[in-house]
Amino acid sequence: MTITWSLNISMDNASLPQGEEARLIAASLAGDGDAFAELVRLHQQRVFRLAGRFFRSREDVEDAAQETFLTAWNRLSTYKRKAPFEHWLTRVCLNCCYGKLRSRNPEVTGVEIDSPAPPSDPSAGLDVERLLALLDPRDRFILLMLDGEGWSVEEIAGRLNWTRANVKVRAHRARKKMRRIVEQEMKR
């Protein structure tokens, strides 16, 4: 199956006629590559945006998106239809991004300060992306979803099949670690 990527998509699944996405999923499960290509077209903007929250280079984002859609094609039979397809695909994308991050062994040499911060806001000059890179991928992941993507605790819990308490605890711990990193960097 060949999938063509295009980042300039304005359509989303909200504009689909009732039941059309379910028809595309059923056809894809039956091996219809064109139906799956349509699902890709409908959801690629979200997948690219989400992968872009984890990776800086376009190549890494494209790799993560491609891996997401290949995994979705190969594991489509695991989609249970209890939640929207978008939630299942989001979970696939997050797992692919997380796996890609986990497989890397980044060499973080330090944090660069972009510019001198005004005295009223000492953290304004800190490079947030570099600070996030100092976090464990699991902690970075939860902060990106909550603060970067603006997802609610309920959305994350639903999309990842976690409990709300689990999301809150992970977020609390990640923010605590980030606070320590910021404090250390401000002492330098």
pLDDT in tens, 66-83: 999 999 999 999 998 887
94 vs 160, which has greater pLDDT? 94
Query: What CATH number has the domain bearing residue 72?
Result: 1.10.1740.10
The phi and psi torsions of 89 (rounded to 5 degrees) equal -65, -35
Same domain (yes/no): 87, 121: no
Same domain (yes/no): 11, 96: yes
Same domain (yes/no): 96, 17: yes
Q: What percent of the chain is predicted at pLDDT more than 70?
A: 77
Of the three residues 104, 124, 143, the one that is the final residue of a domain is: 104
Question: How far is Cα 140 from Cα 18, in angstroms, rounded to an integer?
Answer: 37
Buried (b) or exposed (e) across 169-178, using 16+ Cβ within 10 A? ebbeebeebb
Same domain (yes/no): 128, 185: yes
Picking from 24, 48, 21, 44, the residue whose alpha carbon sits closest to that of residue 36 is 24
Same domain (yes/no): 96, 153: no
- CA–CA distance from 104 to each of 9, 87, 96, 117, 133 (Å)? 30, 26, 13, 32, 12
pLDDT at 26 exceeding the cut of 90: yes
Of 4-8, 59-63, 80-84, which range is least confident? 4-8
Q: Give the model's pLDDT for residue 141.
A: 80
Of the three residues 77, 104, 131, the one that is the final residue of a domain is: 104
Same domain (yes/no): 14, 87: yes
User: What SS3 class is residue 166?
Assistant: helix
Same domain (yes/no): 85, 172: no
Handedness of CA 153, 138, 41, 25 (dihedral sign): negative
Same domain (yes/no): 75, 155: no
User: What SS3 class is residue 113?
Assistant: strand
Picking from 149, 127, 187, the residue whose alpha carbon sits closest to that of residue 54 is 149
Residue 95 domain boundaries: 1-104
Same domain (yes/no): 22, 67: yes
Of the three residues 104, 121, 154, the one that is the final residue of a domain is: 104
- CA torsion, ordered 156, 108, 62, 83, to nearest 10 deg: -10
Q: Give the model's pLDDT for residue 116.
A: 32
Q: How much is the pTM?
A: 0.59
pLDDT in tens, 116-171: 333 334 444 456 667 777 888 778 888 888 877 778 898 888 877 789 999 999 99
Of 104-113, 139-148, 174-183, which range is least confident? 104-113
186 vs 42, which has greater pLDDT? 42
Query: What CATH number has the domain bearing residue 139?
Result: 1.10.10.10
Confidence of residue 33 (pLDDT cuts 50, 70, 90): very high
Question: How far is Cα 75 from Cα 71, in angstroms, rounded to an integer?
Answer: 6
Q: Give the model's pLDDT for residue 138.
A: 76
Confidence of residue 16 (pLDDT cuts 50, 70, 90): low
Same domain (yes/no): 83, 118: no
Q: Give the model's pLDDT for residue 55.
A: 82
Mean pLDDT rounded to a whole number for the chain: 77
Picking from 100, 6, 94, the residue whose alpha carbon sits closest to that of residue 57 is 100
Same domain (yes/no): 76, 141: no
User: What SS3 class is residue 137?
Assistant: helix
Cα 139 → chain centroid: 13
15 vs 80, which has greater pLDDT? 80
Same domain (yes/no): 92, 119: no
Question: How far is Cα 187 from Cα 179, in angstroms, rounded to an integer?
Answer: 12
